[in-house]
Every structure is written in C-alpha cells, then in structure tokens.
Amino acid sequence: MTQTIRVRFPPSPTGHLHIGGVRTALFNWLYARHCGGAFVLRMEDTDRTRSTEESIQVILESLTWLGIDWDEGPYRQTERLEIYQAHAYRLVEAGQAYYCYCSPQELQERREEALRRGESPRYDRRCRDLQHPPADRKPAIRLKAPLEGQTRFVDLIHGELTFENSELDDLIILRSDDTPTYNFAVVVDDVTMQITHVIRGDDHIPNTPRQILIYQALDYPLPEFGHVSMILGSDKGRLSKRHGATSVLAYREMGYLPEALLNYLARLGWAHGDQEIFTKEELIAQFSLAELNKAAAIFNPEKLLWLNAHYLRTLPSERLMHELLPHMIRAGIVKSPDEVDRTYLARAVDSVRERSKTLVEMTQWLRFYFTDHIIYDSQAAAKFFTAESVPLLARLVQDLEGLPIFDEASIERVFQQLLAESGLKLGDIAQPARVALTGGTVSPGIHEVMAILGRERVLSRLRHALEWIASSANRVS
C-alpha cells in the first residue's frame, strides 16, 4: 500500500511571517503537491505571553497572498492541551518519564554551579529515582532519556547523523502548569496528525535526537526528517533586515508580486538544472527533496528585483491589475477598484511594464494617466515651456482636433507632418507635449501616451499648458 505523504508547517504566531519561515512552508507545500499528499497548517501558540491573534491572521494572510493553501488546519496547540497531558501521563505510568519537583530557582543555581566547574549545565537527574517527593510542590514531568548509547537518523538532505545519548538531557515534557514544552508538543502533534515527513530548517537538527527519544518512548514510528539549509545575507551572516529581508507582507507593501517572491524563494536552496524562472505548476511538477542543497543559501535582493521585473513584464493584465490596484488606492490615484475603467488601466499598464521593477514604481509611472491636474516639474517647464514651443503646441492642438481616428498611427502622422513642415527634430515638439501631458520629461512613447489618454484628455492638457505658458510670460513681463 502506497504511503500518503503528509507534511506540516507549524509557525509560532509571535510576529510576522518572515522569509525563512515562508520558504520552509513553500518546500513542504511543494512536496505535498508534487506527491499528491496533504499540507497541514498548525499554530504553535502555547507561548501565551507572545502569541497573538493578530499574528495568526498575518500568517494566514501571508500564505494566502502567496497562494500556499492548506488541506487541514489551522490547528492551534492551545486547543490541544488535554492531548499533550494524556501522552505525558501515559509516559509516567509506563516508567518512561518521571515527576520533577525542582524549582526554577534551584535549577538555575545548579546550572550556574555546573558552568563554574566547567561542566555542561544539564539537569543532574536528582528526581529521576526520587523515593520521597515533597508534598507542597506541583511537579513538572521529565522524559527518562537513555544514559548511554547513540541516537541516529538518516536525514533526507544531510545523510546519517549521530548523537551521543550521554549528551542529551532528561528534558521537561510537561511544565508544572500542565503546558507542554516545544519538543514534546511537536512530537505529539506530528504523531496524532500522522505527519510522514518533517521538513524544516537545519537549526532544528539539535532538537531532532530529543524528539526521536520521545517517539521511541511513546512507541510511535518515526517520520522522515529533512533539514533545509539556512538563508544567509550577502556577508554570510544570519539573514536580517539589513540584508533587505523582512516579513512577507512587507514585500507586498514594497510592490513585489507573489509569483516573483515564490519563484525566488523556491530557488533559495533548490535547483532544477539551470532553470531560473518557474511557473507554480512547473515548481510542483519538478520539485524534489533530492535537489535541495546542504549549503546555506545566500539572499540576493537584486536577483529578487530582477525576477519581479520579469513578472511585471509578463503577467496577464488582469492578474497584474489585481495586485496593482491596492497600491494605486494607497497612493491616492484611484479611490476604489470599482471606479476604474479596466480597459483603460490595462492599456496604461502595458505602456509602463518595461519601465517598472516594482508595483510601487509602476504606480508612480501611472499617476499621470489618472490625474485631472498635472503638476509640472519646474526644471522641465523652464526648459520646454518657452515662447518657441507655443506655436508648436497650438498647431498640435489644431491638428489633433481634426483627426478622424485618434489612434497611435494617426497621432504619429500628425507629428511627422509637423516635423516635415517645421524642419525641427522630434524632441523639439515631443518634449513640450510630454511635459504638458505628464508633467515631466520621461514617459512611454509620446504617441502611445496620447493614444491611451484619448483625445479629450490630450487636448485639455495641451490647452492648459498653453494657458500656463501665457500666464507665466505675463508674470515675468
């Protein structure tokens, strides 16, 4: 009988979902989708002082934005406390765990004393065979770990790993307040949720032998373990904000597309030949744990920006507009998606795709298409709104008014005729017109801009520019 692959992503809801965490989620999700398995989402929210409902919603929003969907969950550890307690008491009854009555202060004093002696500050197991427990203390429960031998497992990425049991502690599995510790809750969750593959960051490798001992004490089969490489900054330091890395939703705010971020994260530590650009369907079809790299991945903001620019150029207009409109609303360019002429916006977007690296940049490029009041750049106006430009702009108004069809080809013929008659270069006419229509000296091609804006907007802006030049001349005189 073929095993159904079941993986999980268990974030701690104590803040935003960051790049390293979402890449782990992505690798799990890709593996589940590739194998036709299940992707389980659960919240490790037992840290009640730091876990918040707001963080849970941010995690869900981040995954949803990226298109990482889940088949089960989100489960919450705080809703499963009785399950952990039952497993812990079962271990005590089976002689695999014991009650520990040591207070936190006593444990701290013994750790400090061990460190002064140059010893490892592990628990000294004094309650392991305690005959007469104190009656006035609520105990914690500790796992009775083996005192000798080795714990081994074959990691799907790193190969066989071995740990000396003498270096492992009798770790607490249930605190005196009846809440589970991290390692115990993880194992019980993974067992009861029938997780077959634990794919997580390699900073969890030290936790794995401890968790294996819990599996063995509970007499449960082990899952497969695969520990993916860390993500480092360009200076080989641990990834942080100084490397340009931050939370997933912050990348959304900065104008990145989920397709670009997903593609980029998949390539951080995974490769499929020399291919750089993948659709989501290609990622699912080609993903393999065997192709994950042991070495740490280096975060490269420039590469991410390059990918984002690629997707801005190639995504279908409807898909791009869905991501773009919230930025336009935030910038005050439009008030709501419902008021936007989608055909007009699509044409405007197509004209600035090649010039934009982020949706924020694209939003700024699009501003002149949607404003009724053009603000002229002072240097541009001083250079191009001259006495010489007045007859050119006036003739342009006259010729554009008489066009039977206001399209790019017809507009281009108007310019060619004007150039032929005046003997001027295109820039002599196009730049004053560009400043009049956009407020600046850089834009998509002037004929394309005019065709998109339409006859009414173009004529209105050219006439306004002529009035502005006249009033400026009067002020000077």
Q: What is the reported pLDDT for 418?
A: 95
Residue 182 scores a pLDDT above 70: yes
Residue 477 scores a pLDDT above 60: no
Q: Matching CATH topology for 6-73+231-305 and 80-228? A: yes
Helices within 207-300 (DSSP H only): 207-218, 248-253, 258-266, 280-286
Has domain 80-228 been given CATH number 3.30.230.10?
no
101-110, 351-360, 393-402, 440-449: which range is least confident on average?
101-110
Per-residue pLDDT tens digits for 48-90 = 778 899 999 999 999 999 999 999 999 999 999 999 999 999 9
Q: Strand, helix or coil at 161?
A: strand
Q: What is the reported pLDDT for 244?
A: 65
- Report the top-level CATH class of 378-476: mainly alpha
Q: How confident is the model at residue 257 (pLDDT cuts 50, 70, 90)?
A: very high
Per-residue pLDDT tens digits for 23-40 = 999 999 999 999 999 999
Residue 171 scores a pLDDT above 90: yes
Backbone angles phi, psi at 73, to 5 degrees: 100, -170
Structure tokens at 332: 């005050």
* CA angle, 95 then 96 then 102, to 5°: 90
Helix axes 258-266, 53-66, angle to 10 degrees: 90
Q: What is the reported pLDDT for 243?
A: 64
Reported as half-sphere exposure (CB side, CA atoms, 13 A), residue 362 has a value of 31
More confidently predicted of 119 and 241: 119
Domain extent listing, the chain: 6-73+231-305, 80-228, 316-361, 378-476
- Say whether 425 is catalytic: no
Per-residue pLDDT tens digits for 95-109 = 999 999 999 889 998
Residue 142 and residue 88: Cα distance in Å, rounded?
9
Superfamily of chain region 6-73+231-305: HUPs (3.40.50.620)
Q: Is 224 in contact with 200 (CB distance < 8 Å)? A: no
Q: How confident is the model at residue 239 (pLDDT cuts 50, 70, 90)?
A: confident
Residue 1 scores a pLDDT above 90: no
Q: Is 366 in contact with 352 (CB distance < 8 Å)? A: yes
Structure tokens at 406: 């206001």
Q: What is the reported pLDDT for 3?
A: 80
Nearest residue to 75 via CA among 222, 211, 225, 189: 189
Q: How confident is the model at residue 475 (pLDDT cuts 50, 70, 90)?
A: low
Which one of the listed residues 144, 236, 241, 357 is annotated catalytic? 241
